[in-house]
């Protein structure tokens, strides 16, 4: 929740749509996939500047702004220049932007801006892996995939219009629409394979190890599996109709492409130099944008904190703080809206921004000095307890959902809202981000010993292996450099 502000006060929330918004964020795969934004693209012409600036601002807002690190920036720019010189379009120019996000993502826009998140940089283990990501995105630009996707999307829109407004048989219409979407999805998957092939070729010609792509794709899959094991949703749930192929298929394809250029071990990797550039970078969420630690959420910049009910795990997104209880039968969402000072909180709860609010359930009280109102709502198989807390000039909306909102569950929701409070100056100053620390393996160090040094509360051993590209049976060599997470 980079800015924690939604900027909407009067939009009506349907119960079904609200439930989707509560839970969909908990099953998102975007932080474990390389995606290319489907924007209009011509590889020889830039977007009109106003449109390009709007898109740039939207990306920065969605990904926590720009991450300033001159050392990393110089390394990536040097890698990009080397790849461009070896590509099919050496005339293209790219502007590198590192995004301040723990998500694992990269994409290039038609105006030459190439975005890469610090989360992706942290997961990669050498320059060849980094080059595989950058060259993959160049492959999309060179093949003009975004322009082709736009044309395909226009065709689907036309079919949708026919289905909705012309065809009288709903079954025939649904079949036509489904076929068109499957064609578009398959076409997009083919684009990803094509960009992978172009990227491996560029990396190999630039002198990098062409097997960097298969290694990094494998680590992405392992990172996604670890996230699922740690309590997040299964990142493979949304593979159907995804614009990206399942990672195992891409790994197989990347290996096949790499074998065309050299045998295993060919080309540069520069692992030691790459890791040296990573030392000290922020890992995970940046506290200045708010961060979650288990049930606890803290936002030092805005100066507040709260604790979710027992059994919940929290996820901080650009739009809201989302929470899901183990088992999936309870959820929560926190966002912020602007509400006129003259409008009372009880009246706001009944103003229609959420459907099926029980007006008789509305009550007003105080939470740690802040005016608060609450009400209940219902819809389908879910029941809702909503709270509105006036904090400065904004109103914080807590939406708790439960499949069975018993008296005990409702009490836990109330206890959670009562934990909402202003952080002290000392608390805000003490919150520090986690960072990557690059250490040399000692003579007596083992994977287990170094994993124990990680500043993580769960799955430290698995996280250490994934972070360093180590398989379940790989051993460490004295003197080699590895990444650990430190506070």
Q: Give mean pLDDT in consecutive 10-residue pieces for the chain, a chain of 487 residues.
A: 41 43 37 36 48 83 89 96 94 92 85 90 97 92 67 53 50 49 53 87 95 94 79 39 64 91 80 96 84 87 93 82 87 92 95 91 96 91 94 93 92 97 89 91 95 86 95 93 94
Angle, to 10 degrees, between the axis of helix 127-142 and the axis of helix 271-278? Answer: 90
Q: Give the pLDDT confidence score for residue 133 in this predicted structure.
A: 94
Give the start-end residues of each E strand in 84-199: 95-99, 106-108, 113-117
Question: What is the DSSP-derived secondary structure letter of residue 448?
Answer: H
What does DSSP say about strands 95-99 and 113-117: parallel, antiparallel, or unpaired? Answer: parallel
Q: Could you tell me if 144 and 152 are in contact, meaning their C-beta atoms sit under 8 angstroms apart?
A: no
Is the Cβ–Cβ distance between 187 and 424 less than 8 Å? no
Instruction: Dig out the tokens for 89 from the structure.
Output: 């379009």
Exposure string over 97-136, b if 16+ CB within 10 A, otherwise e: bbbbbbbbbbbbbbbbbbbbbbbbbbbbbbbbbbbbbbbb
What is the reported pLDDT for 49?
A: 66
CA distance 278 to 269: 15
pLDDT for 360 equals 95
Distance from C-alpha of 293 to C-alpha of 21, rounded to nearest angstrom: 22
Predicted pLDDT of residue 392 = 86
Pick the CATH number of 433-486 from 3.30.420, 2.60.40, 2.20.110, 3.10.350: 3.10.350
User: Where does the chain hold its CATH 3.40.1000.10 domain(s)?
Assistant: 288-425
Report, at the CATH architecture level, how domain 288-425 is classified: 3-Layer(aba) Sandwich (3.40)
- The pLDDT score that the predictor gives to residue 183 is 46
In order of 26, 279, 387, 466, the CA distances from 445 in angstroms are 37, 19, 51, 18
SS3 track for 179-223: HHHHHHHHHHHHHHHHHHHHHHHHHHHCCECCCHHHHHHHHHHHH
pLDDT for position 249: 86
Q: What is the DSSP letter of 31?
A: G
Q: Would you call 278 exposed, middle or buried from its count of C-beta atoms within 10 A (0-12, 13-18, 19+)?
A: buried
Q: Is 17 helix (H, G, I), strand (E, B) or coil?
A: helix
pLDDT of residue 169: 52
Q: What is the pTM of this model?
A: 0.70
Domain with CATH 3.10.350 in the chain: 433-486
Rounded distance between C-alpha atoms, residue 413 and residue 408, angstroms: 9
């Amino acid at each position: 929740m980079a800015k924690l502000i939604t900027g909407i006060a009067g939009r009506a929330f349907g119960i079904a749509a609200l439930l989707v918004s509560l839970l969909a964020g908990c099953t998102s795969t975007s932080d474990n996939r390389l995606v290319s934004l489907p924007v209009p693209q011509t590889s020889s012409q830039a977007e009109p500047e106003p449109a390009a600036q709007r898109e740039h601002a939207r990306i920065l807002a969605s990904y926590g702004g720009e991450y300033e690190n001159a050392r990393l920036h110089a390394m990536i720019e040097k890698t990009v220049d080397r790849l461009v010189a070896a590509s099919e379009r050496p005339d293209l120019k790219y502007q590198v932007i590192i995004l301040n996000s723990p998500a694992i993502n990269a994409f290039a826009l038609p105006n030459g801006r190439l975005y890469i998140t610090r989360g992706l940089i942290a997961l990669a283990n050498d320059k060849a892996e980094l080059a595989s990501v950058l060259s993959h995105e160049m492959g999309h630009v060179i093949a003009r995939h975004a322009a082709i996707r736009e044309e395909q999307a226009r065709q689907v829109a036309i079919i949708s219009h026919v289905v909705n407004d012309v065809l009288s048989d709903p079954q025939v219409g649904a079949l036509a629409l489904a076929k068109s979407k499957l064609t578009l999805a398959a076409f997009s998957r083919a684009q990803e394979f094509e960009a992978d092939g172009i990227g491996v070729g560029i990396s190999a010609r630039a002198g990098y190890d062409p097997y960097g792509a298969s290694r990094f794709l494998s680590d992405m899959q392992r990172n996604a599996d670890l996230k699922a094991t740690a309590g997040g949703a299964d990142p493979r749930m949304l593979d159907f109709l995804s614009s990206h192929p399942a990672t195992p298929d891409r790994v197989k394809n990347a290996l096949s492409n790499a074998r065309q250029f050299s045998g295993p071990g060919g080309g540069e990797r520069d692992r030691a130099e790459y890791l040296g550039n990573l030392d000290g970078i922020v890992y995970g969420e940046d506290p200045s944008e708010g961060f979650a630690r288990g049930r606890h959420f803290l936002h030092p910049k805005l100066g507040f904190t709260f604790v979710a009910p027992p059994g919940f795990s929290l996820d901080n997104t650009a739009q809201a703080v989302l929470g899901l209880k183990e088992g999936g039968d309870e959820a929560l969402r926190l966002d912020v809206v602007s509400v006129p000072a003259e409008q009372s909180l009880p009246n706001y709860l009944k103003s229609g921004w959420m459907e099926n609010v029980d007006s008789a359930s509305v009550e007003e009280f105080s939470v740690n000095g802040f005016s608060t109102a609450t009400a209940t709502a219902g819809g389908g198989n879910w029941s809702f307890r909503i709270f509105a807390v006036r904090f400065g000039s904004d109103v914080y909306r807590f939406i708790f959902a439960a499949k069975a909102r018993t008296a005990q569950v409702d009490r836990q929701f109330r206890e959670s809202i009562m934990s909402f409070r202003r952080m002290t100056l000392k608390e805000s100053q003490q919150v520090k981000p986690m960072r990557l620390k690059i250490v040399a393996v000692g003579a007596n160090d083992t994977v287990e010993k170094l994993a124990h040094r990680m500043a993580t509360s769960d799955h430290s051993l698995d996280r250490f292996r994934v972070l360093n590209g180590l398989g379940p049976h790989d051993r460490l060599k004295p003197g080699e450099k590895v990444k650990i997470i430190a506070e």
